Amino acid sequence: MAFGAVVEVVAIGCALAAVGCASTADIHTIKSPAAHFELYHSVAFDSERPPPPGDYSSSPQSADVWSHVKDTATHILQSRGYTLGEPGKTDLILRIEVGRRESTAPMTSPIGLQPTYPGYVPDYLPVAPPYHGYFDQESQELVEGAFVIDAFDGKSHELLWHGFSRAVIRPGQVNYADLQRHVESVLASFPASGSR
């Protein structure tokens, strides 16, 4: 299904208190121009937890993250007028995928003393250091967490809306406050029940 050019891209900042730095989450949503949300009043979640999205994998925290995304999404959708029902008996079916992946990202700043010659003394040092060396690029190990929320028509099973969030995470720990903010940001563009 082609969604055309109806794309919303939002970048939000989230504090990773555990490491004391700020990270940015990539959030993307898209709605089918053919979707008629004015016809939808009830929602159910896919009864089985699907595999992780794309090249992501599961972790020991995946089930907990999936449940938290589902609970937060349920609260948000009910506040927008949707009633919660059972799969096969509702206007919309939501499918949630969660996962993580490890990647290596280059750091952009040089580290160390430039190897002009062993006796090189930078202007800010009084004498040549006893050791020298230079790395022009160092790698940084990153772990990304992501979740996808897809909304399908309950009868035709056609994809109507897609939301995605990706952020650098701390392995082995779930930051529930950040996760909740990410779910809220992803669902910010999800139409209210009965809306056009």
CB hemisphere CA count around 141 (13 angstroms)? 3
For the beta carbon of residue 42, count every other beta carbon within 10 angstroms: 16
Output the pLDDT for position 49. Answer: 84
Of 189, 170, 186, nearest to 70 (Cα)? 186
39-59 pLDDT, tens per residue? 999 999 998 888 888 888 898
Least confident segment among 15-19, 30-34, 162-166, 190-194: 15-19
Say which residues have a Cβ less than 8 Å from residue 47's Cβ, sequence separation at least 6: 87
Domain boundaries, the chain: 20-107+146-187
The residue-averaged pLDDT of 179-186 equals 95
Output the pLDDT for position 12. Answer: 28
SS3 187: helix
Higher pLDDT, residue 121 or 77: 77
The residue-averaged pLDDT of 25-51 equals 92
Q: What is the fold of 20-107+146-187?
A: Double Stranded RNA Binding Domain (3.30.160)
Q: What's the predicted TM-score (pTM) here? A: 0.71
Output the pLDDT for position 22. Answer: 37
